[in-house]
Amino acid sequence: MANSAGWTDELTTIYLATGLSQKEAPEGFASEAEEAAMAVVRLGLGVAIAEVVASDRADAKTVAGLLLAERRSDSRQQP
């Protein structure tokens, strides 16, 4: 995904992770810096998109990733 309309060549790669499962942190692991304030929040794709649409806080990478995931999900449901 190009991040700009021409004034930079910066790109963002968006990955869709599937089949994930929650695991306990390894013994001795300690969250630091920004990780210490992070929380795992599980949302369905439709709910996540609705929350992004209703908010002005979502960044472009998140919006693009959710919309691409929705498109992929829709294409898998088509006969």
One pLDDT digit (tens) per residue for the chain, 79 residues: 777 777 788 888 999 888 888 888 899 998 889 888 888 888 899 999 999 989 877 888 889 999 999 998 877 766 5
- How much is the pLDDT for 56? 78
- How much is the pLDDT for 4? 73
Each domain of the chain, given as residue ranges in start order, spans 44-77
How far apart are alpha carbons 24 and 79 in whole angstroms? 39
Both tokens assigned to 49: 């998109």
**51, 57 contact by CB (below 8 A):** no
**68, 13 contact by CB (below 8 A):** no
